[in-house]
A and B are shown apart, each in its own frame.
Chain A
Amino acid sequence: DIQVTQTPTSLSASVGDEVTITCRTNFNPRNFLNWYQQKPGKAPSLLIFGASTLQTGVPLRFSASTSGTQSSLTIDNLQPEDSATYFCQQTYSTPWTFGQGTRVEV
């Protein structure tokens, strides 16, 4: 299985800040790397797919990139509604695996 290690587990930042979440895998997932946002009591929703493509409707302050076995999600100009837990997922090979999640508090 491809292992996914996501850091940090949680972070707290202020409105307007920039934050970065990292996912490391033990195998290069190429661009088979997706990011999801989950708000309390809700199902996860797709944020970014293919390592760097924003899902329709996602604000441009969200961005992501990948380099080898490390992928990053950056939220620029953090807003109160960005408070949520963020997960990365590799779909390069089954079983598809998720990172442990990063709780972002604004």
Chain B
Amino acid sequence: QVHLDEAGPGLVKPSEILSLTCTVSGDSINNYYWSWIRQSPEKTLEWIGYIDDTGSTKYNPSLKGRGSISRDTSKNHISLFLKDVREGDTGVYYCSRVGGRVWWSDPWGQGTLVTVSS
């Protein structure tokens, strides 16, 4: 059974770089696409981007180029980097496996809370 586990710093200061890791167990990251999705305190879900099975990436233009997703196949994990964070980046960050012909997201990790505050 696939399990995803996100990890991050919890608290980040404005203008700093946020770094999150999603460790995948029960499946190889080479076999699927993997997404990062965040949920605001108001519960709105926003797709951040994905990395595909070749390592190519796609991002939400709303990030204005601040986001970067990478992978480490030796550790079977996916990383998200978000630079120049601001208070609006506060929320719960999830990683998920993406699959099928309609790009469903399943499963999701338990999420990691990120608070941007000075």
Contact = CB atoms under 8 A, between A and B. Distances in A.
Interface stretch (B23-31, B71-79, B100-108): B100-108
Interface in B42-97: 43-47, 58, 60-62, 94
B104 A95 contact: no
Nearest to A50: B102
A47 to B, nearest CB: 10
A90 to B, nearest CB: 10
Nearest to A29: B102
B60 A95 contact: yes
Contact of B104 (A1, A34, A87): A34
Given A34-B105, A43-B110, A49 B100 contact: yes
Contact of B103 (A42, A55, A91): A91
A89 B61 contact: no
A45 B111 CA distance: 12
B105 A32 contact: no
Contact of A46 (B44, B62, B94, B106): B106
A45 B94 CA distance: 12
Interface of A: 1, 31-34, 36, 42-46, 49-51, 55, 85, 87, 89, 91, 94-98, 100-101
30 contacts: A1-B61, A31-B102, A32-B102, A33-B102, A34-B104, A34-B105, A43-B94, A43-B107, A43-B108, A43-B109, A43-B110, A43-B111, A45-B106, A45-B107, A46-B104, A49-B100, A49-B104, A49-B106, A51-B102, A55-B104, A85-B43, A89-B45, A89-B47, A91-B102, A95-B61, A96-B35, A96-B103, A97-B47, A98-B45, A101-B43
